Amino acid sequence: MNFALWYQRFGLAEAVLSLESTPLVPPTAGQVQVKMIAAPINPSDVIPITGAYAHRVSPPRVAGYEGLGRVVITSDALLFSLGQRVLPLRGDGTWQQWLNCTGQWLVPVPEDIADDIALRGHINLLATRLMLRR
């Protein structure tokens, strides 16, 4: 089973988010399955739940844009190894245990970058650059 924080309608996060379980779906061709390590809560995660970006996203959907995970299923056609840490960009929401993501949108994360730094590396690229330089 896959547990995820879903919103079925727009509204305040505390009113519309619910923890739901769904069957774990295997990745399709061109996808990698990632077991999420952690995902932060940022304004960029919460604002879409309110409906502010209704022109881009619509419920029902899993919340979350940033996060860090490890590859658990891949294929020979994709250049990711089992256990590799990745940022799953453009997945179906990072606030879930397991995420299927198109291989072209995964960003490998070097092992020498701490999890709590790496998981915030997608949304604010300038802040990421500063974090990595320090």
Catalytic residues, which ones? 53
Q: Estimate to the nearest angstrom the gap between the alpha carbon of 40 and the chain centroid.
A: 10
91-108 residues labelled b (16+ CB within 10 A) or e (exposed):
bebbbbebbbbbbeebee
CA-nearest of 60, 62, 46, 61 to 96 is 62
Contact present, 107 and 29 (Cβ < 8 Å): no
Contact present, 129 and 113 (Cβ < 8 Å): no
Distance CA 31, CA 132 (A): 28
